[in-house]
Amino acid sequence: MGFKLDSKIPEGPIQEKWEKHKFKCKLVNPANKRKFNVIVVGTGLAGGSAAASLAELGYNVKSFCIHDSPRRAHSIAAQGGINAAKNYPNDGDSVWRLFYDTVKGGDYRAREANVYRLAQVSNNIIDQCVAQGVPFARDYGGYLANRSFGGAQVSRTFYAKGQTGQQLLLGAYSSMMRQVNKGKIQLYTRREMLDLVLVNGKARGIIVRDVITGDIERHTADAVILATGGYGNVYYLSTNAMLSNATAAWKAYKKGAGFANPCFTQIHPTCIPVHGDHQSKLTLMSESLRNDGRVWVPKDKGDKRHPNDIPEEERDYYLERIYPSFGNLVPRDVASRQAKFRTDEDRGVGKTGLAVYLDFSEAIKRDGKEAIEARYGNLFEMYERITDESPYKQPMRIYPAVHYTMGGLWVDYNLMSTIPGLHVLGEANFSDHGANRLGASALMQGLADGYFVIPYTLGDYFNNHDLEPVDTNHEEFDKAEKEVKERIDKLLSIQGTRTVDDFHRSLGKIMWDNVGMSRNEARLKEAITEIQKLRAEFWKDVKIPGKAEGINDELEKAVKVADFLELGELMARDALERVESCGGHFREESQTPENEALRDDENFAHSAVWEFKGEKEAPVRHREELKFENVPLTQRSYK
Amino acid sequence: MSAKEEMLTLNLKIWRQEDRNDKGRFVDYKMEGVSTDSSFLEMIDMLNDELVKEGKDPVSFDHDCREGICGSCAMMVNGQAHGPNALTTTCQLHMRSFTDGDTIVIEPWRSRAFPVLKDLKTDRSAFDKIIAAGGYISVNTGNAQDANNLPVSKENADLAMDAASCIGCGACVAACPNASAMLFTSAKISQLAQFPQGQVEAAERASNMVREMDELGFGNCTNHAECEAACPKGIDLRNIAHMNREFLKAKVKGK
């Protein structure tokens, strides 16, 4: 018998669901809150805001991060901004419009009730962050500035230069550190979570490795919150940080948490192209660049002339040609796919042919160099530092790169997974973005989950469950620790010939070629076989120097890659089963005559939720049907 | 991949130290075929790849975003924090800044408050402790008033943003002859003092953070301005003056 998927969406009109639900959530009285211990894994926007808010309420929080400081979580790298339905510019925005845009932008594969709540609390987030001292951009009158972002028809994005993620994270981090000072948060840095511990079917603790000493530690709690981010690093090269990984989420999956829509990955269109074999990661440039930059490739195949030598009439501004009404501002999935189509036709540019141009010459002519510098100066500088080419003098070269994963651990309306007591926040869950995330919405979701959702729903969990005292000597902890240690010993004992990075690179290539921007049945099946082979090879031939004690960077990487080698296969399986195109998931078998993604609402208006059945068994695919009562299902069109 | 790509041969002198208690030493490595388009950390990745293949211990260093924003990477490159280029973290330093045949000396941050953990990795948790002592506005999550109810002049907002750009890497401490953390501490103090709601506890904040900083073993500021020169985010030295003003106010108030 598999798990039951009860989304727990409250009854009633969508506008009233969250208010009513909050009222129905049972409260824990202030004196009792200190009796509950909560583990929060991850200190990005979701984990940091959750840890701070729960500690403020009076819970005892243990906060874990892989970095030397909670301030370094990868939320810090988000550039563009954060959406909210404030309607400060009076341009027609509303909670309803943000909700509508997010459901539609996600290509109708998200839960309406969750998205509506996200839009509702978006305004509180801005208020909260301003109160904390987040230095959002302001107009000369002293009021907050907004910009339009990622093709939105309204200006609803708040920003702090090109460092919005950094500023929001430092806000959450400050709030956390205030609670550390008060003794309500115990901080555990440089810890990698290696297993989840269940007692009587409920999440009651975790096993972590201290990456400095190598010690394996046990920690108990009354509830566990994972806010461990996405799994984009399965692809080896992505815009994720080097330490970003899926191990915590994967261990939870193997302990019984459903994994939803693993094939929903977002490929961001404006990244700096790959330069060579030793490249370690890709760098994203804010998609605000598409507000003024024009995307083009040469009309002639294999044209290797310098871009400045290619005359206007020999350039194909393909986004403007195909999508006259949205032009260069089409959503991310559409822009990325079109870039791939061009390079597949041998119209790609640069030495590798895996790039297209993003041209600012017209904007510079129109608005002047100074205006463009004021808007994008820091991005142009970053581009030049990496490529040694000036975007003021010649077009940028850009190419899509893996950036965000919409899939993740399945959660109900309370953000609880299929394991009682295990809650999942931020990018690590699957909830709000459907098959495609809109720009400036990731920061919004992370903070919504942490500041405004979990503080209400966690209390309700504590009230509705009997939680017997558990200590670290419990046999489930013995068992979990033993397994973790055995796995580490096994990895160290192989002493093969290939490095961890070498395996990771091979996995990335399989994933990018077959489970990337364009997918079909034959290649997905091939990917599954290839990954299985590579995984077997890894466990026979990986080479990890050093020992389990003390700092061992290669061992740390190996633990992550071992899990990526399993997760990659699940992503391919999920992509294979979803025989429709939606958002970032493009199945070649399901497209319109104009090569646009064609959904199949009759058969696939659901979230696919995978259940682990054991190492030797195939996982089972469950469905959560999605009902669209407020946003009518339509084919997305950006023509 | 740029048109000007070249391959370099380099001599590296890298600080190797087993753990906190090891004395440590420089070890020489010769690198060939390093692309000028590679980043500095990718060059160390290449070295580590070779070391691992030989079954040797790779050089340990902190790094994560490799986009110059997380503040993880931290190395003295030829005696300069984050290397020769202004306003550049080590991860954003590219090998085109070096010449064929160069010798490059690579060391960890050197400061009593940042003990070496292994090779180039140090313990910078002292910075978290300074923030915990008061680097925040004491507001709980909840129903904060509408964000536009408190206008803040653009000038103040921009000053706050500039100060808030600090990535907490520790280059200021590493570059300072006294290993002072004043630039780091003052940046947070002056960011928060730009806002009306941040003014309420400004003096107390300065007093608490400075006390913590002193207790952690960071040195004093004697106006060398090396911190400002080394800062990859261009944090302004005037923040220190601002901090001193707030600190003085606290003393006057007897806090």
Contact call for residues A416 and A422 (beta carbons, < 8 A): yes
> What six digits make up the tokens of A268?
């961001």
- Of residues B49, B68, B197, nearest to A501 (C-beta): B49
Same domain, residue pair A113 and A257: yes
Task: Name the minimum distance, in Å, from the CA of A539 to any CA of chain B.
Answer: 17
Greater confidence (B115 vs A162) lies with: B115
Same domain, residue pair A196 and A160: yes
Instruction: State which residues form the domain around A425.
Output: 17-27+35-264+406-464
Residue A634 lies in a domain: no
Contact call for residues A116 and B138 (beta carbons, < 8 A): no
Across residues B71-86, what is the average pLDDT? Answer: 98
Q: Do B131 and A174 touch (CB under 8 A)?
A: yes
Identify any residues that bridge with A64 across adjacent strands, giving them in sequence order: A41, A188
pLDDT at residue number B3? 65
> Does residue A437 carry a catalytic annotation?
no
Give the DSSP letter of residue A395. P
A549 contacts chain B (CB < 8 A) = no
Sequence-distant (≥ 6) Cβ neighbours of residue B114 within 8 angstroms: B122, B123, B124, B126, B170, B173, B174
List the 225-244 stretch of A: residues with Cβ below 8 A of B: 241-243
A210 contacts chain B (CB < 8 A) = no
- Give the span between the Cα atoms of B38 and A280, in whole angstroms: 9
pLDDT at residue number A527? 98
A545 contacts chain B (CB < 8 A) = yes
Mean per-residue pLDDT of chain B: 96
Task: Name the minimum distance, in Å, from the CA of B83 to any CA of chain A.
Answer: 14
Same domain, residue pair A70 and A192: yes
List of chain B residues whose C-beta atoms are within 8 Å of the C-beta of residue A76: 65, 69-70
Same domain, residue pair A450 and A511: no
Q: Is the model's pLDDT at B1 over the cut of 70?
A: no
List of chain B residues whose C-beta atoms are within 8 Å of the C-beta of residue A401: none
pLDDT digits (tens, 9 = 90+) for A12-52: 999 999 999 999 999 999 999 999 999 999 999 999 999 99
- Of residues B1, B165, B168, nearest to A276 (C-beta): B1
Q: Do B123 and A352 touch (CB under 8 A)?
A: no
Same domain, residue pair A105 and A181: yes
**Shortest CA distance from A51: residue in chain B:** B141
Same domain, residue pair A86 and A224: yes
A90 contacts chain B (CB < 8 A) = no
- Give the span between the Cα atoms of A312 and A320, in whole angstroms: 14
Give the DSSP letter of residue A452. I
B190 contacts chain A (CB < 8 A) = no
Residue A286 lies in a domain: yes
* Domain residue extents for chain B: 7-118, 125-141+151-252
Across residues B100-110, what is the average pLDDT? Answer: 97
pLDDT at residue number A635? 83
Active-site residue, selected from the candidate residues A109, A332, A342, A519: A332
Last residue in a domain, options A464, A490, A514: A464
A166 contacts chain B (CB < 8 A) = yes
Q: Do B128 and A71 touch (CB under 8 A)?
A: yes
How far lies A13's CA from each of A497, A630, B225, in Å? Answer: 61, 10, 61
Q: For helices A45-57 and A164-181, what crossing angle results, to 10°? A: 30
Same domain, residue pair A305 and A259: no
What is the domain count for chain A?
3
pLDDT at residue number A1? 43
Query: ipTM of this predicted complex?
Result: 0.98
Among left, alpha and beta (phi > 0; psi -120 to 50; other), residue B172 is: alpha
List of chain B residues whose C-beta atoms are within 8 Å of the C-beta of residue A140: 154
CATH of the domain at A514: 1.20.58.100
Q: Do B153 and A142 touch (CB under 8 A)?
A: yes
pLDDT digits (tens, 9 = 90+) for B11-61: 999 999 999 999 999 999 999 999 999 999 999 999 999 999 999 999 999
A86 contacts chain B (CB < 8 A) = yes
Last residue in a domain, options A355, A370, A402: A402
Same domain, residue pair A456 and A502: no
pLDDT at residue number A91? 96
For a pLDDT cut of 90, what percent of chain B falls above it?
Answer: 96
- Of residues A56, A241, A385, nearest to B140 (C-beta): A56
**Which of B37, B66, B69 is most worth mutating to test chain A (most A CB atoms within 10 A of its CB)?**
B69
Q: Do A124 and B140 touch (CB under 8 A)?
A: no
Contact call for residues B106 and B79 (beta carbons, < 8 A): no
Q: Do A351 and B1 touch (CB under 8 A)?
A: yes
**Shortest CA distance from A183: residue in chain B:** B132
- Of residues A68, A86, A141, nearest to B62 (C-beta): A68
Same domain, residue pair A61 and A136: yes
Sign of CA dihedral A496, A500, A501, A507: positive
Q: Do A68 and B53 touch (CB under 8 A)?
A: no
List the 30-89 stretch of B: residues with Cβ below 8 A of A: 35, 37-39, 41-42, 45-46, 49, 51-53, 55-58, 60, 62-72, 88
A378 contacts chain B (CB < 8 A) = no
Same domain, residue pair A481 and A551: yes
CATH of the domain at A325: 3.90.700.10
In chain A, which residues have pLDDT < 50?
A: 1
A68 contacts chain B (CB < 8 A) = yes
Residue A454 lies in a domain: yes
Identify any residues that bridge with A496 across adjacent strands, giving them in sequence order: none
**Shortest CA distance from B124: residue in chain A:** A68
- Give the span between the Cα atoms of A211 and B25, in whole angstroms: 23
List of chain B residues whose C-beta atoms are within 8 Å of the C-beta of residue A178: 132, 136, 138
Return the half-sphere exposure (C-beta side, CA atoms, 13 A cut-off) of residue A595.
13
At the second CATH level, the architecture of B125-141+151-252 is Orthogonal Bundle (1.10)
Q: Do B64 and A243 touch (CB under 8 A)?
A: yes
Across residues B166-185, what is the average pLDDT? Answer: 98
Same domain, residue pair A416 and A508: no
Residue A574 lies in a domain: yes
Task: Name the minimum distance, in Å, from the CA of A8 to any CA of chain B.
Answer: 24
Confidence bin at B2 (pLDDT 50/70/90): low
pLDDT at residue number A4? 83
Confidence bin at B180 (pLDDT 50/70/90): very high
pLDDT digits (tens, 9 = 90+) for A472-528: 999 999 999 999 999 999 999 999 999 999 999 999 999 999 999 999 999 999 999
Task: Name the minimum distance, in Å, from the CA of A545 to any CA of chain B.
Answer: 5
pLDDT digits (tens, 9 = 90+) for B33-46: 999 999 999 999 99
Q: For the domain bounded by B7-118, which CATH number is listed?
A: 3.10.20.30
Task: Name the minimum distance, in Å, from the CA of B53 to any CA of chain A.
Answer: 7
Q: Do A352 and B1 touch (CB under 8 A)?
A: yes
- Give the span between the Cα atoms of A331 and A612, in whole angstroms: 34
What is the spatial order of strands in the sheet that A265-271 belongs to? A265-271, A396-405, A356-359, A294-298, A315-316
Residue A639 lies in a domain: no
CATH of the domain at A77: 3.50.50.60
Place of tokens 């989950």: A449
Nearest to B194 by CA among B219, B223, B162: B162
Residue A635 lies in a domain: no
Q: How large is the C-alpha radius of gyration of chain A?
A: 24
Greater confidence (A352 vs B195) lies with: B195
pLDDT digits (tens, 9 = 90+) for A305-318: 999 999 999 999 99
